[in-house]
Amino acid sequence: MQYFIGIVPNEEYKMKVIGFRNKWENNSIGEVVEPHITLKAQGGLTQDEKWISKVEEVCKQTRPFKITIDKPMFFGDQILYLNVLSKELHSLHRNIVREVATSNDLIRKYFELDNYVPHMTLAKTSYGLTKQELNNMAKLAEKELMPYPVFNVNFIRVYKESSPNKYIKHLDIPLDKRNEIFSIKGGRCSSAQN
């Protein structure tokens, strides 16, 4: 049984990505997991789940932030993904990896810390597509998945392996909202960050 931690895009864009990925009938990534941005890979996330309280502590100290989806890119010629931009995301990743006390071997194995590249996977050759299909998909993604959204991150999602190579939502952990300033404007309550 394995776990990983991700960030889910807003519902509208998530459904857009699902529809796009499903255009390729051999693309089995939708059977593995919902569209997400990997925040922390499997390394150090053990079955005893003691690490969850450490992740919750990091999240309590992390203010909600914005994330920007960006153009399609490749890892080698076998994985197509959408790039993700956010300096706060990098900080949150580092803080979680350090708190979980992932070993150096696992950090290297899962491309964490200095090798971390935030991304949302669209397809892989190991999930049924050819390299040519990935190239075709990348060209179409530039047309169909634009405009690339900016969305708020208010929580992170822990995924748990439910069967071999299939992950489902285990739990959502909210980010700390105590640092937001609340004000009344025109009879409505609104919030703004410092």
Smallest CA-to-CA distance from 102 within 116, 89, 88 is with: 116
Is pLDDT of 165 > 90?
Answer: no
pLDDT of 178: 63
Residue located via tokens 């703004």: 192
Mean pLDDT, the chain, integer: 89
pLDDT in tens, 15-28: 999 999 999 999 99
Tell me how crowded residue 159 is: count the other CB atoms within 10 A of its CB. 23
Q: What is the pLDDT of residues 116-157, one digit of tens each?
A: 999 999 999 999 999 999 999 999 999 999 889 999 999 999
Distance CA 186, CA 84 (A): 36
- Tell me, what's the pLDDT at 102? 80
What whole-number distance in Å separates Cα of residue 182 and Cα of residue 179?
10
Half-sphere exposure of residue 166: CA atoms within 13 angstroms, side-chain side? 6
User: Which of the two residues, 5 and 193, has the higher pLDDT score?
Assistant: 5
